[in-house]
Amino acid sequence: MTQRSEIEAPRIYPTMRCRNDEAMIGWLKDVIGFTERVIYRNGDTVQHAELAYGSSLLMLGQCSDDEYGKLVGDINGRRTDALYVAVDDPDALHARVKASGVKIEMELHDTDYGSRNFACRDPEGNLWNFGTYRPKADEKPL
C-alpha cells in the first residue's frame, strides 16, 4: 500500500502569459528566488514552464493568440489580478527587487495585521505583493 504524503500538493496554481518569457523566468529565478521545475519549449518559445517557490508552483508561458490566450484576455488590457508570496525576509527581497530596476508600487511597511509587506511590478507589469503573512488553509483565522 502506498503511503500518502503528509503534505498535500497545492490545489491552486497561478498562471501567467508573458511577452518575454525568458526574461520573466530569469527575473523570477535571479531576483525573487524561484527555482526551475520544468520548461517545455517549442523552438525558442516557452510552451509551458513551472517554477517553484518553496512548496508552491507558478506556471507560465509565452503570450499567444490561441484559444486559451483569448480566454485569458489581452495582456495590454485592464487586469484585476495580483500575486501574493509569503516570504521569510521581505527586507532582503525588497533590496534585490529594487536593485533589479522594476517599479516598487508600495514601499516596505508593517501592516495592522502584523505582516511586513511591499509591492512591485515585474518586468511585464504584473503586480506582486510580498510579505510575512502566511495563512494556512487548515487554520482558523485569529
Segment 68-109, tens digit of pLDDT: 677 666 667 766 678 999 999 999 999 999 999 999 999 999
The set of residues, in sequence order, having a beta carbon less than 8 Å from that of 9 and lying 6+ positions away, is: none
pLDDT tens sequence across 31-68: 999 999 999 988 888 888 999 998 899 999 888 777 76
For 22-89, the three-class secondary structure string (H helix, E strand, C coil) is: HHHHHHHHHHHCCEEEEEEEECCEEEEEEEEECCEEEEEEECCCCHHHHHHCCCCCCCCCCEEEECCC
Measured CA to CA in angstroms, residue 66 lies from 42, 46, 108 at distances of 15, 14, 39
